[in-house]
Structures are given as structure tokens and as C-alpha cells.
Amino acid sequence: MPDSQLGLQAIRDVLGADGYIDSQPDIEKYQVEWRGLWTGHCDLVAKPNSTDQVSKILAICHEFEIAVVPQGGNTGLVGGGVPNSGIVLTTERLNRIREIDPVNFTITCDAGVVLADIQSSADQVDRLFPLSLGAEGSCQIGGNLSTNAGGVQVLKYGNARDLVLGLEAVLPDGRLWDGMRGLRKDNTGYDLKHLFVGAEGTLGVITGAVLKLYPKPKQEETCIVAFESVEKCIELFTRMNAQAGDALTAYEAMNALAVEMTVKHGQGVRAPFEQQYPWYALMELTSPRQGNDLRDALERVLEAAFEDGTVLDGVIAASGAQSADFWRIREMIPECQGPEGASIKNDVSIPISKVPDFINQTRQAVEKVMPGIRFVSFGHIGDGNFHYNLTQPIGSDRDTYLAQWHDVTDPINEIVHKLNGSFSAEHGIGQLKRDELVRYRSGVEMDLMRRIKSALDPKGIMNPGKIFNL
């Protein structure tokens, strides 16, 4: 075996004194998942400030067979960025906006640029970068692409995969692939960028991207409505989608407990209505044109829904501040579960027509396993993606509860599979869902994925132990 210490010293020489960390406690934050579910270890944290440095580091790691764990903002939910050996390669110093082209509707940036900074840069030239999620103030675009992040506007704009035109990536042997082309049409062989999008750092390190921009909305209408059931929530979505088309940017569902916990624990969060309801939906319609047509369309659909009993209550935001209040309810759900105890999180997608079946069947199945468990259901119901989180029963022990993670999630995943859904909609596989990947993907799919992995990373140095149990 090659002497890894020689390799580590070579990495230090490439980076210089301010380009690496190899001592505690500074290294610790790179070894721990932010929720504390995984704690790993590594020998060094590499902090390259250029693509050239990334290339040199990977060439060294390839030669000395040193494991490399690419890490962005470390905001993942499946343990994909936690190291088990070797080095962490953080992209935090790869943080340049390289170019904004408002005519071509593109922004070109390093992988370590924080998502909120991309949104802000686009806004400054009267453009929109639509990827939006709860961690946008700290997550980095390289990580967003590596996990094919979704967010609240997938309904109109698609996942991260749909927002990238060009990509730059360093291969496991240190070679640079430059695919930074801002083209909507480029039919010249395999579309290689999609190998790296969603690969969770197992095939190489994304160092740059050309991203799509869109016209900035000139009109926005936001409303929150209440229902007696998830079936009614789906019914209103179907109507609104038919009436508004792609003006319907977001349609977020929340059950009663999700809203109750957020109102109880969220700073500055107010209940949307005087009484509680079983289900809620937060809708947003946008248009690049000025005018009142969106509000008129929204009011017409809601008026008919009130008359036939589909909707029990509702309010349209009268100002930007009120709209922000509505969105705060949805955005703070994940953090407001913490004070209520441990949470087992499920990130699933189901055909929209099957969502009520999923909700009803899983409740029965999970309650058989664990009476008293509390269901916190919310998510991007417009694209079938549900965050089906399960809070520990009142009075139960946290560690005992978390030890039953798979006892609870296995029946959920079985139901998802029977409904032709996916057990991972936008969070990825990481360490958490490796067994599920093998269980629910065909032998042909697994063989193809392993062959791609072996072809690009024959020494298995890239993020080992993630996605595959290799």
C-alpha cells in the first residue's frame, strides 16, 4: 500500500499553510453531521481555492489511494458528507461568481458559492434563480447539484438537474472535465454533466456550473387555505393547476401537527387562522407581467372551492410582509420539530393521485409498529414529494426511539414502492439509504451504476461508503 502520510504531506504542500486543517478541534465540524446523527473521522481537511488545486489534490489522492469526501455546506440529511477516512475536500473557498449573462439568462459560478448568494446575484440583474430551500443561507451550489436538490419551486422550474446547463468537474485521477457550456441545445454525444448531478461526490468533484436564470416575477400572489382532508388538498391543486398552469409556482401541503408545532416553537410565527384544521396548503402564483390577472384567477378558483366545500378557510396575502409570514410557517417546520423530541425523517415521492392512499396506509402501518407516534407531514405536494416526518411519542426515550428507525421506515418504504413511488425524492442516498437502494432498484440498475462508478473511480477513493456499500 502507498504511504498515505507522504500523500497527506504532498496535499499540504499544494495548499500552503492556510489551505488545510489537520488539528482538533478545528477539524471537528467537518466530521459531524449537523443533526448529530453521524460522526466520522478524517486525517485532514483540504480547502482548495482554485480548480487547479482541486485537480492536484485528487491526483495525489489517486496515486496514494487516499479517500476523498467532497463537502459543501454540510447541510445534507443522509450522511453523504460525513467522512469515514482520508480527507474532506471542502469547497468553501471556491466561492466566486464567475459571470452573469442576463441576455443568455445564465449565471456561472464556483461550486462553493452559497445558494442565497446566487439568488441575490441574479436578483441584482433583474433575473431569478429559482432553486429555493430551507438551508439556502448556508448550502452551496456544488452540494445542491451533487444531491440534485429540489425545494419549493420544483413544480414550475424542476429539480437542480433541470437548472444546470454546463458543469466543470475534476475526475478521481485529477483530470479536469470542462463542460461549462451555457447552451440549451447541445446534442453532441452523452450528456456527461448528468453523471455528476445527483452522484453525491462518488464520481468526482464538481468545481463549477453554468446555471439557468429566468425572468424575475413582477407579480406574486400567495395564499394559505385549509381543508378537512388531504383528498380535498389534492382536489384544489388539480383545479388550480388546470386554471393557472405554469403560473402556479409552489403548492406546499402541511398537516395540522406540522403547523401546530411551528406556531408553538417558531419565533415570530403566528397561526394562520383562529381555529385549527386537519390540512393546509400554501400556494404561490407568479408572473413576469404586471397586472391583476393572477389575483383574479386565484379568487375565482377559491370562490368556487368555498362554495362546494373543498376549502374550509383561506386568506390571500395582502402584502409582501403577510406573504413572508405565510412562508415562515412552512420554512420553519423542520427546526420546530426539534423541541418536540427526536424525528425520523422520510423523504418520499408518490404519484400525486396516490398521495391520499400513501397518507392513509402509512398511518395505519406505522401506528401498528409504534402506538402514539406523531405524524408531521408536509412538503411539495404539487410534485408528489412528501417530507413524512415522525416525531417520538410523548414521554418516550429519544435513543430508544431512534434505535427503531428502520422498524418505522421499512413499512413506509414498502407502501411507497407498491404505489410506484421513490424512497428518496430529493435528499439522496448517502449512508442512510444504501440498503433501500439495493432493495428497491433492479439488479440491472445496480449493475449499471456500479460499472459507471468503477469506470470513473477504479480505486474507489471518491466518497467511499456512500450510495454503494463498497
Q: What is the pLDDT of residues 34-79, one digit of tens each?
A: 887 889 999 999 999 999 999 999 999 999 999 999 999 998 989 9
> Which CATH number is 411's domain given?
3.30.70.2740
- Cis geometry, peptide bond prior to residue 102 (ω within 30 degrees of 0): no
Residue 314 forms part of a structural domain = yes
Residue 293 confidence class, pLDDT cut points 50, 70, 90: confident
Burial profile 324-340: b = 16 or more Cβ within 10 angstroms, e = fewer: ebbbebbbbbbebbeeb
| 329 shares a domain with 232 | yes
Where does the pLDDT of residue 1 fall: very low under 50, low under 70, confident under 90, or very high at 90 and above? low
Indicate whether 376 and 420 sit together in one domain. Answer: yes
Q: Domain tally for the chain?
A: 4
User: Is position 141 within any domain?
Assistant: yes
Predicted TM-score (pTM) of the model is 0.93
Range of the domain at 262: 219-335
In a domain, 411, yes or no: yes
How far, in Å, CA of 142 to CA of 144, rounded?
Answer: 5
Q: Judge if 224 and 301 occupy the same domain.
A: yes
- Regarding whether 378 and 305 lie in a shared domain, the answer is no
Regarding whether 123 and 43 lie in a shared domain, the answer is: no
Residues 334-344 pLDDT 10s:
989 999 999 99
pLDDT of the residue at 470:
65
So what's the pLDDT on residue 37?
Answer: 82
The gap between the terminal CA atoms of the chain, to the nearest Å, is 18
What mean pLDDT is reported for the chain? Answer: 94
pLDDT tens by residue, 4-18: 999 999 999 999 999
- Among 171, 190, 215, the domain-final residue is 215
**Same structural domain for residues 356 and 326?**
no
What is the CATH number for 80? Answer: 3.30.43.10
Angle between helix axes 320-331 and 256-265 (nearest 10 degrees) is 110
- Asked if 194 and 266 sit in the same domain, the reply is no
Assess whether 10 and 79 both reside in one domain.
yes
Spatial CA neighbour of 299 closest among 281, 320, 314? 314
Q: What is the rounded average pLDDT of the residues 374-381?
A: 92
* Residues 140, 68 share a domain: no
* Domain's final residue, options 90, 122, 157: 90
Tell me the torsion sign for CA atoms 9, 12, 17, 18.
negative
pLDDT cut 90: percent of the chain above it: 88
Residues 297, 393: one domain? no
**Highest mean pLDDT: which range of 35-44, 200-209, 236-245:** 200-209
Shared domain check, 188 and 126? yes
Question: What's the pLDDT band for 468 if we cut at 50, 70, 90?
Answer: confident
The domain that contains 108 carries what CATH number?
3.30.465.10
Q: Are residues 155 and 223 in the same domain?
A: no
Q: Is 40 part of any domain? A: yes
Residue 454 has pLDDT above 70, yes or no: yes
Q: What is the mean pLDDT of residues 115-136?
A: 95
pLDDT at 469 over 80: no
* 448 found inside a domain: no
